Amino acid sequence: MSDRSSLGPWVRRFLLEHLVDERNLSKNTQQSYRDALRLLLPFVANRVKKAVDCLQVDHLNADTIRAFLSHLEKNRRCTVRTRNQRLAAIHALVRFISERSPEHLQWCSQIRTVPFKRTGKSPIPYLEKFELDALLAAPNVRTEQGRRDHALLLFLYNSGARASEATLVTVRDIEALTDGSGVVELFGKGNKRRTCPLWKSTMSELLSLRGSRSPTDRLFLNRFGHPITRFGVHTMVERHAKAASKKVPGIRKKRVSPHTIRHSTATHLLRSGVDINTIRAWMGHVSIDTTNIYAEIDLEVKARALAACETDQRRRRQRKNWKDDRSLLAFLNSL
């Protein structure tokens, strides 16, 4: 690249070459980075009184980035999590530039000093089994759309699939087994594929939904016969969650989305005694640390249950003084 000071060519290379060819990031991540720059560049252009196409690399600096992040929170009312996502995209861009243009190393270091904000650890939303059953029973299965919605809800719960993964499932991705159950191949984050088992009830619903369609057709269609989008999946889940909350009012207190169903799958699998590594593979987690979040949930539930089962007599029992515990003292002396 002849002109290393112009920002535009760097942005184009970053979006079209780096994210797609070198990083092989998912479409959603690419769009997230693109959206961050669509907000940043006009903000910077207005701040320096230049056209977007005339921006220079040096027009991006730490003070401008801080002002942009403040604008996101105050004017656009973005959450801290969204603010941090935008900053991550900016950090990725400046790192990309500095790795290919050594003269911008100091510039990159200054911008990278802009810190992420700490966010409170929000609890993972999930549905109890009776709440999930109410959600599955919400669609009117006497109608064609109701049967489709019920099959999709059951599939999301059975497989733990993300909304985007469910939209990509084709007819040939599901395979029936001799005992009536089945498996599905999911195309997930990082272009990774994984195989999940399907219950007999799920497989029966999907085979009915599939009919005699072509193997390359998408499995889940909207009411117009087009492949359903992830926004369509979100809308469908929210609609039936609202209906289910009339019978189970506790659902109203929870934010129910396709990802809530995914969290419910992992939590219920863990409670059923499924090994944590099996759950990691089932959910398509890259790191076991992500799956361990559900173990923390389950430990909290077990602790509450144990406390509830504790008898009044045990609560009144005076605890033994640790000084009188000779086995403990012997242990400490042996260290």
d(CA 37, CA 90): 8
Annotation says 226 is catalytic: no
Q: Which of 83, 104, 148, 162 is catalytic?
A: 162
Annotation says 259 is catalytic: yes
The phi and psi torsions of 231 (rounded to 5 degrees) equal: -70, -35
Q: Which of 34, 254, 259, 271 is catalytic?
A: 259
Annotation says 189 is catalytic: yes
Q: From the centroid of its chain, how far is CA 157?
A: 15
Annotation says 104 is catalytic: no
Annotation says 71 is catalytic: no
The answer to whether 130 and 244 have CB atoms below 8 angstroms apart is no
* Contacts for 159-162: CB closer than 8 Å, 24+ residues apart: 159/184, 159/186, 159/196, 159/198, 159/265, 160/196, 160/261, 160/262, 160/265, 160/266, 160/269, 160/282, 160/283, 160/284, 161/186, 161/196, 161/262, 162/188, 162/189, 162/258, 162/259, 162/262, 162/284
Specify whether the backbone of 211 is left (phi greater than 0), alpha (psi in -120 to 50) or beta: left
The answer to whether 282 and 157 have CB atoms below 8 angstroms apart is no
d(CA 212, CA 210): 6
Q: Which of 185, 184, 159 is nearest to 262 (CA)?
A: 159
Is the CA virtual torsion 21, 22, 25, 30 positive or negative?
Answer: negative
Q: From the centroid of its chain, how far is CA 197?
A: 21
Q: Which of 83, 150, 262, 268 is catalytic?
A: 262
d(CA 176, CA 190): 27
Annotation says 262 is catalytic: yes
Q: Which of 34, 95, 147, 189 is catalytic?
A: 189
Q: Which of 209, 160, 201 is nearest to 217 (CA)?
A: 209
Residues taking part in catalysis = 162, 189, 259, 262, 285, 294
